[in-house]
Structure 1
């Protein structure tokens, strides 16, 4: 029997009606492919761990998201979809938007092997030209759980916001990204710019 985290049960129950079957399906596929997976909640949305971070899922007002921490090494065409939503599968509004169960299980098993082998996530290259600021949904979701942080972030100039977004996106490993996200929310809640220690405001 899989070990289920009751906090994820509650998360699914509170999600929009369209999202519930999607989240239940993803959860079941992860457990089927990785019986030793551990469930947890980080920044108020479900994560799955196996020798480190494996994957995560989330629901929003009009779509769900699912992605692997080392997705760049697993899913072709991830770059096109990741611009639109957290994860590697774009905006998921129905189970039909996802690859087949067999394909998802294949991705999960490959992700497990990457973790078993200690493979690190590749660094994300900076774009050659400046682009419109897009706040990653994992950052937006974390800020939404801390009203002071959300208020300060919304009041920041574009450059201050970009400093934090680029700091998140440039993380070379999932562990670094998690640490940075936690630190960022703490600093933003205090109204601090990314480089406040150095007097760069």
Structure 2
């Protein structure tokens, strides 16, 4: 079930409730707009993602979407997936860690300034889109499906292609295909329901 509000997100993570409330208070003390994207709290400036907060099994985190561009405030930043993640950086908090608003506020303000200046790390163009055979076969049966697919952005096309390709069993591939057909025809992306900001 997708959460509809930041308060609901916090309540669904009772182990991290205190920490998430503290991080939220810091974010609410800025000009950023609070919303839910990808099922977690995100803070945006004029529709552009600046930061987010999230709870995980062993830690909670304050995310910066262009954190790699921070120059003045960097000591607490971590790359969540070294070698994979280019722009995102996070500050992690484990149980018992003290959340210090006066320190974190500096990171947030620098991230806002970077966004205000329009700086960002452009995604590296990924490899050519490979449409799985199951989807190609569906296109042959239904030309409207193929037309709708071609009208999607490259990112949405890749989401659907990967969704089918990553299934290991043929039955899973077929059930996924049936699930996404109406979504493709409606011009939706696979993950659109998580982006309600």
Tell me which residue corresponds to 2:90.
Answer: 88
The 1:14–1:112 alpha-carbon spacing in structure 2 relative to 1, beyond 3 Å, is: same
Displacement of 1:64 in angstroms is 1.1
Q: 2:64 aligns with which of 68, 88, 101?
A: 68
Displacement of 1:96 in angstroms is 2.3
Q: Which runs of 5+ in 1 are unaligned?
A: 125-178, 194-201
1:156-195 alignment to 2 at 5 Å?
Answer: 180=155, 184-191=158-165
* Number of residue-to-residue matches in the alignment: 129
1:29-68 alignment to 2 at 5 Å?
Answer: 29-32=26-29, 34=30, 36-51=31-46, 52-68=48-64
Q: CA RMSD in A?
A: 3.2
- TM-score, normalised with respect to structure 1: 0.53
Displacement of 1:7 in angstroms is 1.3
Displacement of 1:54 in angstroms is 0.8
CA contact (8 A) 2:50 2:111 kept: yes
CA contact (8 A) 1:12 1:23 kept: yes
Q: Establish whether residue 110 from structure 1 lines up as the match of residue 106 from structure 2.
A: no
Q: Following the alignment from structure 2 to structure 1, what is the Cα–Cα distance between the partners of residues 57 and 158? A: 24
Q: Following the alignment from structure 2 to structure 1, what is the Cα–Cα distance between the partners of residues 15 and 90? A: 20
For residues 79-122 of structure 1, the C-alpha deviation after alignment (integer angstroms, 9 at most, x for no partner) is: 755348974223x2236254x21111111111111111111237
Q: Following the alignment from structure 1 to structure 2, what is the Cα–Cα distance between the partners of residues 82 and 63? A: 12
CA contact (8 A) 2:4 2:36 kept: no
The 1:116–1:80 alpha-carbon spacing in structure 2 relative to 1, beyond 3 Å, is: closer
- TM-score, normalised with respect to structure 2: 0.54
Question: Hey, which of these two has a bigger chunk of helix by percent?
Answer: 1
CA contact (8 A) 1:23 1:57 kept: yes
